[in-house]
Structure 1
Amino acid sequence: MKYARLRVHHDPDTLHPMHAFEMDHEAIERASLLHWNTVLDETNTMVFRVRGDPAPFRAKLEARDATEAFSLTDAVEGVFYCCVRDRVTDADRGYIDAFARGTLVVVPPVEFEPDGTTAVTLVGTAADLDAAVTELPDGLRATIESVGPYRRRAGESDWRLTDRQREAVAAAVECGYYDSPRSGTVADVADDLDIAPGTAAEHLRKAEATVMRRASD
């Protein structure tokens, strides 16, 4: 059994309307598909994690003919969750069928990137993974970012950094905090993120602990 991390590129007419909305609306930064059911009665129910303002996202869903029902949480630290039930379109079905073949399993999350690509991790046999890349529907193409034997680590879902931890690490890298010799400080990170130095230090400490646990598995 192997895994493949794919970057799926879309022609404009194959890009999902909600993904296009995410790209175009300044109040929506990014969305991730966390959970979904199989297609039942020509509908699909999904749970998304979205960074941004829920108000325009709600308005867009209300205006979509394909959306039958949805529910949004309030935003907490800029993140909200959405459960939505959609009627499956022909474009949706082509995309679903591409990754619902043979032994393939899609491993969440599916990341809808601001550049219009979709990041997908698949697990299955080498033959089915190859077919998923080479036999995509028209308007889609995939590049392989990584591939190898699938080894799920215990607690794998716990190793991911939070959005705020990633922001702190990115700011630390940018200011030289991880350079050798070190040229940036925790105070620089705090200033960049407009947070207290103690909070910045805590974000970095937790991020570093998470990465070190992952590296030692």
Structure 2
Amino acid sequence: MVGVLALQGDVREHLAALAECDVIARPVRRPSEIDDINALVIPGGESTTMSKLAQTFEVFDPIHKRIAEGMPAYGSCAGMIMLADTVLDGREDQRSFGGINMTVRRNAFGRQVDSFEEPVDFNGESFPAVFIRAPWVESVGENVDVLGTIASGKAEGRIVAVRQGHLLATSFHPELTGDLRVHRLFVEMVAEHVG
């Protein structure tokens, strides 16, 4: 059972992508629902709002605990920010679940009007990526695998996909492209975890 954090953001699109990967997925909004899932997708949206809502709905601490205990999680865009140990340009009261030893910069590619589509090099293959007020990874620490970078243009080489153990994050939105490779990778990670 894979949960999709359903406080804000592109929840339906992730649920649809996971269903296409033959996974049982459901929205998660309450603390009691966190105990019933094997993994969690943290969708794109607005990271400061997501942080506040997670605390208001009392799911922040249970999710933080499950991730620290090894529950697989995948974050796209704002979800990447929520999985980062260090966030640049965030609000003082913003909290993240952490878990990935990386520093991310919020809205690194610009504002909403600066949204764009650009192929990225993901796991050695070209991937059609959609960036909406996206972060990028400024730096990674030990045990973090860089899976994706911008392939060309003024942001060429910027890190936009990472994995650390049971955690996966992308600054782009694969759920908006119809390309299931990122979701399938996450499903494989979950399968390895649950045996």
TM-score, normalised with respect to structure 2: 0.24
Larger Rg computed on CA atoms: 1
